[in-house]
Amino acid sequence: MKAMRFFAVARFARHERGNFTLAASLVAVPIIMGLALAVDFSRIDHATRSASSSLFTAVRSALSPDGDLDADHAVELYAAGLHLPEGQASSPPTFRQLPDGAWSARVTTTTQLTFGGIVLPKVFYRPVTVTVRNDTAA
């Protein structure tokens, strides 16, 4: 009886028809998900870098020589300078003055996640903070 079971197991292990298909289908799912995440990560990174650059430029341009910030002008400059593709957005900036006189500005970028061109219901949020010092020498 044991010999019969052993032969059945050996025959099953020798059977090669469909083994590659099964293995490939099991491995394909994580590979495709990894590639989709890599594409989404580059989109997330692009949104973060664009927001950071636009925010720094807006705050730097809206700072007066005496260190006061025209927040309304900075918000306008930020909105005009930020160009994000469809599926990405940014919150309005918030500003605060630090004890050393520098200004800190913060936004949150949002990126709609996709999977092979299919938009998922998940949104990735990433905070962006810049600090601008009012250096008259710069």
> What ranges do the domains of the chain cover?
20-132
pLDDT band at 137 (very low <50, low <70, confident <90, very high): very low
Strand ranges for 73-117 from DSSP E: 88-90, 94-97, 103-115
Task: Tell me what the mean pLDDT of segment 61-88 comes to.
Answer: 92
Q: Which residue has the higher pLDDT, 136 or 26?
A: 26
For tokens 């710069």, the residue is 138
